[in-house]
């Protein structure tokens, strides 16, 4: 009987393996068919058309003058008009060639059988280096009698050659990149289906095979992150030209010269009644002469951004290489460390509380955790401002990971606290004060973690635990003493970090705490619906609407985090399902993480305003609670032996993870301020046409 059972199991395994191989091959065949027929439908749709070259002699120009070199554009709204066409037009090929012409925006108008006057279509961007943008599908009614093309953005430039073809045969524009990415994504989704064999393997990073998979994942993430980090070609160079992006370089120079300030301010600034009033500075002619976004105090300029990144990253790099560390290089290093910190933290959570967590679930949650918490925004704008935030997040991840891993059980099944892990955890958490002070609220998570150790097992703050107590407290004491001295030496108070002395658009010394801003901030940060339409990137930014009678600093937003990152809904849902958690302290961690998230968001709106980068402050805290809820829900289903429930959790997690990653990707292109579209139009419109293939 046993032999028959083994044979049956091997047969089922073989059939399953053959089925998976066939499914993967079928996926690649279908993706290939999509690439050839669906994504290149323009080729098949235009295959039988007869192209009509439009001679330059048949084009009437307005705002364009004929020259020996070609055509000189002397108007910002030049026009090209073609008459007596009298045929149906399906496609227009439009290409301008000129040494200074990279892209142009055109708007096509036509007189057709349904419109005796010109019918105007939405504008389109045509780029010399994006071939797909040059073939435009037209949808006019019947025969077109006249066609007019408005060209904008070329004033003062010379068109060396003009190429316009009506009913052009669109070539096959096969994209290997789209083919490979789409094929890999669908194969991955197939692998992550609820009944896949991958869900049978539990997370155990003590195994060499799983360590290898994690390493490969980190390497792939790091390579992708580096490539994407160079998308915003403007932002990566700001450190070369903008003084407020060079503050850490100035701070290092000050330290080397035995100073804490980064320069003396003009005497005229001190003579103003209120130098923090931007209007007063402007009227005195000092708006551009004063150092933007620096702390001004008693005639000197200071850097109010956290000092820890300068000391731990920028200064050592400068000493070793003799060069300045580019801000986006710092962002890249911190991004990779955050990837490692997430994997480390989630492994400690799984090891301590959720040992039945599937390895693939651990990997999935860690990938979404990083993308949503900060890596997506870092791709959009890898500048100086997110360096201290990302440094604080890195320390927070490692700090919580060390604290969670500090509790172990002895051979006698008694609890103990590992001293060096307590030290490392406390040191990491304490260093947050020198990066992004408001993130120190995560200390409350430590209180919950060690509550039973303090008041039940007496493993902390008791006579027999002096070593562990000193280990958890000393890092806070040392770091606090150094930072308080640093603050006191600069601003006369150990608790003054100097942010209120910032020379910016408003007087932050008078900002204060106003409850009226809190509701707007919480709603905008957490629950504001997104702005979507049918045009790439489908997700678009928008201004914050409010009736608040006072100063509210805002940037263009894309929506609240529960709309942008729907995976967080699992964490929100978990707040109302205490039955998922066998250990009540773990449930308290989830509740506390939600409270800390809201508190940090409220602090940000009170201290500064509604700025998009402030999402980084609290999204990672929300993801921490969400990850715990996902692991808890899955383990609860396993313990109840409810296969249907575990499969439902699997599908929900994978689905929400996919939607979250898509939203993160679209957010990168959604911003119109300091946008990738303006900085790197070739990339932007290439991606646009690869996704919106129907354009």
Question: How far is C-alpha 380 from the geometric centre of its chain's CA atoms?
Answer: 7
Using alpha carbons, list the distances in angstroms from residue 236 to 218, 226, 674: 23, 12, 11
Structure confidence at residue 426 (pLDDT): 94
Structure confidence at residue 6 (pLDDT): 55
pLDDT tens-digit series, residues 192-245: 988 888 888 999 999 999 999 999 999 999 999 999 999 999 999 999 888 889
Beta carbons of 225 and 332 less than 8 angstroms apart: yes
The first and second tokens of residue 425, run together, are: 């955890």
The first and second tokens of residue 83, run together, are: 């008459």
40 pLDDT more than 80: yes
- Tell me which DSSP letter residue 46 carries: S
- Tell me whether strands 135-137 and 91-97 are parallel, antiparallel or unpaired: antiparallel
How far is Cα 460 from Cα 406, in angstroms, rounded to an integer? Answer: 12
Q: In degrees rounded to 5, what are phi and psi of residue 191?
A: -65, -30
Beta carbons of 140 and 653 less than 8 angstroms apart: no
Q: In degrees rounded to 5, what are phi and psi of residue 556?
A: -65, 135
Mean pLDDT of the chain: 89
Domain ranges of the chain: 2-40+176-188, 52-166, 192-235+323-691
Element (H, E) at 552: none
Structure confidence at residue 9 (pLDDT): 52
Instruction: Read off the pLDDT of each residue in 88-92 and give the average, rounded to a whole number.
Output: 92
Structure confidence at residue 13 (pLDDT): 57
The first and second tokens of residue 527, run together, are: 């629950």
How far is Cα 280 from Cα 273, in angstroms, rounded to an integer? Answer: 8
Beta carbons of 92 and 170 less than 8 angstroms apart: no
Q: Is 361 helix (H, G, I), strand (E, B) or coil?
A: helix
647 pLDDT more than 90: no
Structure confidence at residue 84 (pLDDT): 86
Structure confidence at residue 86 (pLDDT): 86
Instruction: Read off the pLDDT of each residue in 653-679 and give the average, rounded to a whole number.
Output: 93
Q: Sign of torsion, CA 127 128 130 136?
A: positive
How far is Cα 167 from Cα 49, in angstroms, rounded to an integer? Answer: 6
Categorise residue 53: left if φ over 0, alpha if ψ from -120 to 50, beta otherwise.
beta
92 pLDDT more than 80: yes
Q: What confidence tier does 2 reach under pLDDT thresholds 50, 70, 90?
A: low
12 pLDDT more than 70: no
| Lowest model confidence (mean pLDDT) among 7-21, 298-312, 352-366, 614-628 | 7-21
Instruction: Read off the pLDDT of each residue in 42-50 and give the average, rounded to a whole number.
Output: 91
Instruction: Read off the pLDDT of each residue in 638-644 and give the average, rounded to a whole number.
Output: 81
Q: What confidence tier does 8 reach under pLDDT thresholds 50, 70, 90?
A: low
pLDDT tens-digit series, residues 323-354: 999 999 999 999 999 999 999 999 999 999 99
How far is Cα 627 from Cα 642, in angstroms, rounded to an integer? Answer: 21
Burial code of 582-596, b = ≥16 C-beta within 10 A, e = fewer?
A: eeeebbbbbebbbeb
Cis ω for the linkage preceding 537 (within 30 of 0): yes
Pick the CATH number of 52-166 from 3.80.30.20, 2.40.50.140, 2.60.120.260, 1.20.200.10: 2.60.120.260
How far is Cα 520 from Cα 218, in angstroms, rounded to an integer? Answer: 38
Q: Is 143 helix (H, G, I), strand (E, B) or coil?
A: strand
461 pLDDT more than 70: yes
Instruction: Read off the pLDDT of each residue in 683-693 and give the average, rounded to a whole number.
Output: 93
Structure confidence at residue 393 (pLDDT): 97
Instruction: Read off the pLDDT of each residue in 161-178 and give the average, rounded to a whole number.
Output: 91
Q: In degrees rounded to 5, what are phi and psi of residue 61?
A: -105, 145
> Taking CA 500 as the corner, what is the angle to CA 499 and CA 501, rounded to the nearest 5 degrees?
90
Bridge partner residues of 531 (DSSP): 540
How far is Cα 133 from Cα 147, in angstroms, rounded to an integer? Answer: 19
How far is Cα 97 from Cα 75, in angstroms, rounded to an integer? Answer: 17
How far is Cα 275 from Cα 284, in angstroms, rounded to an integer? Answer: 10
Residue 379: closest CA among 586, 159, 222, 227: 227
Structure confidence at residue 654 (pLDDT): 92
% of the chain surpassing 70 pLDDT: 97
11 pLDDT more than 60: no
Structure confidence at residue 532 (pLDDT): 92
Q: Sign of torsion, CA 132 135 141 142?
A: negative
pLDDT tens-digit series, residues 96-153: 887 778 888 999 999 998 998 999 999 999 998 899 999 999 999 999 989 999 988 8
pLDDT tens-digit series, residues 557-610: 999 999 999 999 999 999 998 988 888 899 999 999 999 999 999 999 988 888
How far is Cα 61 from Cα 536, in angstroms, rounded to an integer? Answer: 32
306: Cα within 13 Å, side-chain hemisphere: 26
């Amino acid at each position: 009987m046993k032999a028959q059972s083994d044979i049956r199991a091997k047969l089922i395994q073989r059939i399953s393996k053959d089925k998976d191989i066939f499914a993967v091959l079928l996926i690649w065949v279908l993706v290939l068919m999509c690439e050839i027929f669906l994504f290149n439908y323009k080729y098949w749709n235009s295959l039988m058309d007869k192209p009509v070259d439009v001679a330059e002699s048949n084009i009437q120009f307005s705002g364009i003058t004929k020259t020996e070199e070609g055509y000189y554009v002397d108007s910002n709204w030049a026009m090209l008009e073609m008459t007596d066409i009298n045929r149906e037009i399906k496609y227009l090929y439009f290409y301008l060639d000129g040494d200074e012409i990279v892209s142009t925006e055109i708007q096509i108008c036509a007189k057709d059988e349904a419109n005796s006057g010109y019918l105007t279509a939405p504008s389109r961007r045509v780029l010399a280096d994006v071939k797909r943008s040059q073939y435009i599908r037209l949808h006019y009614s019947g025969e077109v009698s006249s066609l007019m093309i408005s060209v904008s953005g070329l004033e003062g430039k010379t068109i060396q050659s003009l190429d316009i073809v009506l009913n052009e045969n669109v070539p096959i524009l096969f994209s290997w990149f789209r083919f490979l990415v789409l094929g890999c994504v669908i194969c991955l989704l197939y692998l992550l289906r609820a009944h896949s064999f991958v869900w049978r393997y539990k997370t155990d990073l003590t195994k060499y095979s799983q360590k290898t998979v994690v390493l490969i994942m980190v390497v792939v993430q790091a390579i992708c992150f580096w490539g994407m980090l160079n998308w915003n070609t403007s932002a990566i160079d700001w450190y070369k030209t903008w003084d407020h992006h060079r503050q850490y370089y100035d701070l290092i120079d000050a330290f080397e010269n035995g100073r804490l300030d980064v320069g003396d301010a003009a005497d005229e600034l001190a003579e103003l009644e209120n130098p923090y009033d931007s209007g007063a500075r402007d009227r005195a002619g000092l708006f551009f002469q004063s150092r933007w976004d620096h702390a001004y105090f008693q005639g000197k300029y200071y850097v109010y951004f956290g000092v820890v990144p300068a000391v731990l990253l920028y200064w050592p790099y400068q000493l070793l290489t003799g060069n300045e560390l580019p801000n986006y290089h710092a962002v890249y290093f911190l991004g990779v460390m955050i990837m490692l910190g997430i994997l480390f933290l989630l492994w400690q959570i799984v090891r301590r509380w959720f040992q039945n967590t599937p390895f693939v679930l651990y990997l999935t949650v860690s990938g979404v955790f990083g993308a949503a918490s900060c890596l997506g925004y870092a791709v959009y704008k890898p500048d100086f401002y997110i360096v201290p935030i990302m440094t604080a997040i890195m320390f927070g991840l490692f700090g919580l990971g060390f604290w969670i891993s500090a509790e172990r059980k002895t051979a006698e099944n008694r609890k103990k606290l590992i001293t060096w892990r307590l030290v490392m955890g406390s040191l990491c958490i304490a260093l947050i004060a020198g990066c992004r002070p408001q993130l120190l609220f995560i200390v409350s998570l430590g209180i919950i973690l060690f509550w039973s150790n303090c008041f039940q097992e007496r493993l902390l703050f008791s006579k027999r635990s002096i070593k562990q107590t000193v280990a958890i407290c000393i890092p806070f004491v040392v770091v606090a003493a150094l930072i308080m001295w640093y603050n006191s030496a600069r601003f006369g108070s150990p608790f003054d970090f100097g942010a209120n002395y910032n020379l910016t658009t408003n007087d932050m010394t008078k900002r204060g705490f106003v409850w009226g801003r809190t509701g707007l901030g919480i709603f905008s940060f957490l629950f504001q619906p997104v702005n979507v339409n049918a045009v790439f990137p489908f997700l678009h930014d928008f201004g914050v609407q409010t009736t608040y009678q006072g100063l509210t600093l805002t940037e263009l937003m894309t929506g609240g985090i529960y709309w942008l990152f729907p995976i967080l809904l699992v964490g929100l849902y978990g707040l109302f399902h205490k039955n998922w958690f066998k250990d009540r302290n773990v449930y308290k961690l989830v509740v506390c993480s939600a409270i800390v998230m809201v508190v940090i968001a409220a602090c940000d709106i009170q201290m500064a305003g509604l700025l998009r980068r402030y999402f980084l402050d609290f999204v990672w805290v929300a993801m921490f609670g969400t990850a715990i809820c996902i692991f808890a829900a899955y383990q609860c289903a396993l313990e109840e032996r409810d296969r249907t429930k575990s499969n439902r959790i699997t599908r929900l997690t994978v689905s929400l993870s996919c939607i979250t990653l898509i939203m993160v990707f679209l957010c990168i292109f959604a911003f119109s301020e300091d946008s990738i579209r303006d900085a790197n139009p070739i990339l932007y419109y290439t991606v646009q046409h690869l996704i919106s293939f129907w354009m």
